Amino acid sequence: MSDILPTGYFGADIANVQPGDDVTVFGAGPVGYFAVLSSFLRGAARVFCIDHWPSRLSKVKDLGAEIINFDDDDPVKVVKKETNGKGTICIDAVGYEAVGHMSTKDDEQSYNGHEHSKLTDPAYEPANPLQVINWICQTAKKYSTISIPGVYASSYDKFPLGQIFNKELQIRLGHCPVKKYNEQLLHLIEVGRIKPEPIISHRMRIDEAPKAYEIFDKKEDVTKVIFNMD
């Protein structure tokens, strides 16, 4: 309630998802999961979700999403085919840490702001901040609103999304106003319309926190961790 559920709903809200819309959510992480759920809550007819982590895609599939693994299929071609070329409402739930199959030499030299390589970092994947933006531009339905709750850092200067994000300018993007959504989303949980528990992948003691960071860093099957403070 402090972050990921309101942010996922914010993504669907600023995209103005309406009953009968087809939606594509880029990213099946925790925010993407709740963006899928929120799109259905707002009446979406179909929701496509794009990622390449099978465990995360499986979670959004359980919500009713039509999943696309970009390691196996071209997501733009799939969405265009499934919508008879019309495209969809698009929600970017990834941000500047996107990876994909269009990475550049510059992207490979700098990973998350640090020098890494495939030889020194076993979890390394070449970042490609333009990957999702390019896919969205090709996938978006004409005259629709592009929603970007995914974070673009101020240092991101190849395209000035960092400045736009931090100044809360529109397209429709920016920091989620969490308190705006808290009460209504909490009530949806209270009455059983939203069940957030599936996003919890691990429950650990607080002294196991270093292990939690380790499995996250290794990109193991982890979404959200609950720490027992006792």
Strands, sheet with 146-148, edge to edge from the N-terminal-most edge strand: 66-69, 46-51, 22-26, 89-92, 146-148, 172-173
| Whole-number Å distance between alpha carbons of 157 and 162 | 7
| Whole-number Å distance between alpha carbons of 5 and 187 | 13
Q: Are residues 123 and 150 in the same domain?
A: yes
State the chain's mean pLDDT as an integer.
84
**What's the pLDDT tens digit per position in 133-181?**
888 888 889 888 889 888 776 555 566 566 556 666 567 888 899 999 9
**What's the pLDDT tens digit per position in 210-230?**
999 998 888 778 889 999 987
- Residue 49's closest CA among 155, 139, 134? 139
Q: Are residues 215 and 138 in the same domain?
A: no
113 pLDDT band, cuts 50/70/90, is: very low
Position 118 scores a pLDDT of 43
Q: Are residues 169 and 55 in the same domain?
A: yes
Q: Are residues 117 and 230 in the same domain?
A: no
Domains contained in the chain, number: 2
- Residue 20's closest CA among 38, 57, 47, 2? 47
Q: Are residues 123 and 110 in the same domain?
A: yes
Position 159 scores a pLDDT of 66
Position 109 scores a pLDDT of 43
Give the residues across from 205 on adjacent strands.
Answer: 228
37 in Cβ contact with 12 (< 8 Å): no
Q: Are residues 134 and 62 in the same domain?
A: yes
- Residue 136's closest CA among 111, 169, 155, 161? 161
| Whole-number Å distance between alpha carbons of 153 and 75 | 25
Q: Are residues 228 and 165 in the same domain?
A: no
- Residue 44's closest CA among 154, 129, 147, 151? 147
- Residue 26's closest CA among 145, 148, 156? 148
Q: Are residues 54 and 161 in the same domain?
A: yes
Q: What is the CATH number of the domain that holds 131?
A: 3.40.50.720
Q: Are residues 51 and 66 in the same domain?
A: yes
Q: Are residues 179 and 214 in the same domain?
A: no
Position 218 scores a pLDDT of 81
Position 221 scores a pLDDT of 82
Position 128 scores a pLDDT of 67
- Which has more pLDDT, 96 or 76? 76
Domain containing 217 equals 199-230
Q: From residue 2, give the alpha-carbon distance in Å to each of 12, 183, 193, 201, 228.
A: 17, 11, 18, 18, 18
Q: Are residues 188 and 206 in the same domain?
A: no
Q: Are residues 211 and 103 in the same domain?
A: no
pLDDT at residue 69 is higher than 80: yes
- Residue 121's closest CA among 105, 103, 109? 109
